[in-house]
């Protein structure tokens, strides 16, 4: 048997790596292509995506930080890592793969950190962030994640997405009930611009709702920013990790699940539903590598976001939506640099303003999720996934979205076997 030569081994290794790591789109878009593909709709979607990420999710970070007794400097560093570093990754990924690929941080993972900080020190939690990043990186390099996601039927994934996004629709309705003075003008503006395509092309409906809502908030005297003494610039603080077995057992696996299944699963499902083909292995490797980087400044694990990518791909031509991601990433980097100033301004608006804006932006996404989940195949498994996800029950420190996906898949495997054989390959 003829022994393989070194160059043959190298060629085999290169082929394996090429198969494992999805190649960027060629040619890469230059300045002229970027300017030609950009436009008002995509800039608007990028801005809405950033506003979404910079309001409610930031409030979660602030609440967890307060619960854990973090200093102002540690919180500012966390927000800097979450926006500036992840914004840079977003810009690079969207440019390389020419599709919206927005990376931020795992919100359910952030929620997990709050209770952990009652009995773990901050350096121990940061050590768990590092370990999670390493685990996700190794799983991405193994190619296991892409193979696993290829097995899960898309209707079940989209049922999980619908279950998670449902609250944005219900929050919209509650805003109309609780704060009609803010919510109603925004909804009416959105409907008017949607019903008049000629006007809607000049002013995207969601931007019209944003402008009218912001004006209503200011004119009603309900914009109440925090004291003027707040600092403007964020200052990253390098966080030295402390290795704790208890922190590893309590946080690493749940954090990895929220990144890979709950967050990345949403993002990949949303992008696939509108015709994109996200590079799953690259996304996983990037989340792992960037989680190591963001952990150094005390930020929770990086992930591919579901809601933000849904906003970026909600309208416009599919081939140009990557510019919305680039706009979102650039704005995120700016937000990260001025995190204390911008966070104060965002949190100074009434809750109904943010809830209405998010609900309107995600209406079409929610509609597409239901259509994809209950269109033809795996309808029982999708229903079970949806119900479990909406129930929002946490078991073993793992959120309902993961259990919904698991139980729905099990139900389909048991009761809908013919649908697997008819699934497209």
Helices (H), 143-252: 144-151, 154-178, 180-195, 197-202, 205-219, 245-247
The per-residue pLDDT for 315 is: 82
- Contact between 335 and 57 under an 8 Å Cβ cutoff? The reply is no
Q: Which distant-in-sequence residues (6+ apart) come within 8 Å of 19 by Cβ?
A: none
The two structure tokens encoding residue 100: 């919206």
Q: Which distant-in-sequence residues (6+ apart) come within 8 Å of 115 by Cβ?
A: none
The two structure tokens encoding residue 66: 């307060």
- The domain ranges of the chain are 29-153+179-223+233-349
- Contact between 294 and 84 under an 8 Å Cβ cutoff? The reply is no
- Contact between 166 and 390 under an 8 Å Cβ cutoff? The reply is yes
Cα torsion through 329, 332, 337, 341, rounded to 10: 160
The two structure tokens encoding residue 397: 């420190």
The helix (run of H) or strand (run of E) holding residue 307 is helix 307-312
For residues 74 and 237, give the distance between their C-alpha atoms in angstroms, rounded to a whole number: 7
Instruction: Tell me the pLDDT of the chain (425 aa) as tens digits.
Output: 444 443 434 343 444 444 678 889 889 999 999 999 998 889 989 998 898 787 667 767 776 777 778 887 788 889 899 999 999 999 999 999 999 999 999 877 887 787 788 888 899 999 999 999 999 999 999 888 877 777 778 788 788 878 877 887 888 899 999 889 999 999 999 999 888 877 877 777 877 888 898 899 888 888 776 554 456 777 788 888 999 888 888 888 878 887 887 789 889 988 988 889 999 999 999 999 999 999 999 999 999 988 899 889 988 899 999 999 999 999 999 989 887 777 666 667 787 887 887 788 778 778 878 888 888 889 999 999 999 988 888 777 666 777 888 899 899 999 988 888 765 54
The per-residue pLDDT for 425 is: 47
HSE (CB half, 13 Å, CA atoms) of 253?
8
The two structure tokens encoding residue 171: 């929050």
Q: Which distant-in-sequence residues (6+ apart) come within 8 Å of 330 by Cβ?
A: 46, 87, 91
337 beta partners: none
HSE (CB half, 13 Å, CA atoms) of 47?
14
The per-residue pLDDT for 398 is: 67
Q: Which distant-in-sequence residues (6+ apart) come within 8 Å of 224 by Cβ?
A: 348
Distance linking the first and last C-alpha atoms of the chain: 37
288: how many CB neighbours lie within 10 A of its CB?
24
């Amino acid at each position: 048997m003829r022994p393989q030569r070194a160059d043959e081994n190298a060629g085999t290794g290169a082929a394996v790596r090429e198969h494992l790591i999805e190649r960027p789109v060629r040619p890469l878009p230059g300045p002229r292509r970027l300017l030609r593909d950009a436009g008002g709709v995509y800039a608007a979607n990028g801005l809405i995506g950033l506003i979404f990420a910079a309001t409610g999710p930031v409030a979660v970070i602030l609440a967890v930080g307060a619960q854990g007794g973090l200093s102002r400097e540690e919180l500012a560093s966390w927000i800097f890592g979450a926006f500036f570093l992840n914004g840079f990754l977003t810009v690079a990924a969207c440019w390389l793969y020419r599709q919206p690929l927005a990376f931020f941080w795992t919100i359910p993972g952030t929620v997990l950190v709050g209770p952990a900080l009652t009995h773990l020190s901050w350096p121990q939690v940061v050590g768990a962030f590092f370990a999670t990043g390493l685990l996700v990186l190794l799983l991405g390099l193994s190619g296991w994640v892409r193979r696993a996601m290829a097995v899960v039927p898309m209707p079940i994934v989209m049922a999980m997405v619908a279950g998670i996004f449902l609250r944005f629709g219900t929050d919209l309705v509650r805003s109309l009930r609780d704060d009609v003075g803010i919510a109603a003008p925004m909804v009416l503006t959105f409907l008017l611009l949607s019903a008049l395509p000629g006007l809607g092309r000049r002013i995207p409906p969601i931007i019209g709702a944003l402008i009218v809502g912001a004006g209503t908030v200011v004119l009603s005297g309900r914009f109440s920013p925090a004291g003027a003494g707040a600092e403007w610039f964020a200052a990253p603080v390098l966080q030295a990790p402390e290795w704790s077995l208890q922190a590893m057992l309590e946080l690493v696996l749940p954090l990895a699940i929220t990144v890979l299944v709950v967050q990345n699963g949403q993002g990949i499902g949303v992008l696939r539903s509108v015709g994109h083909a996200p590079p799953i292995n690259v996304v996983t490797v990037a989340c792992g590598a960037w989680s190591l980087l963001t952990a150094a400044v005390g930020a929770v694990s990086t992930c591919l976001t579901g809601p933000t990518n849904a906003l970026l791909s909600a309208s416009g031509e599919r081939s140009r939506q990557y510019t919305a991601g680039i706009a979102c990433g650039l704005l995120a980097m700016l937000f990260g640099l001025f995190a204390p100033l911008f966070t104060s301004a965002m949190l100074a608006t009434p809750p109904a303003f943010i809830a209405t804006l998010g609900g309107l932006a995600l209406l079409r996404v929610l509609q597409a999720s239901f259509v994809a989940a209950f269109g033809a195949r795996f309808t029982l498994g999708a229903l079970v996934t949806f119900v479990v996800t909406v129930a929002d029950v946490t078991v073993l420190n793992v959120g309902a979205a993961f259990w919904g996906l698991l139980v729905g898949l099990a139900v389909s495997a048991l009761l809908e076997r013919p649908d697997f054989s008819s699934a497209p390959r």
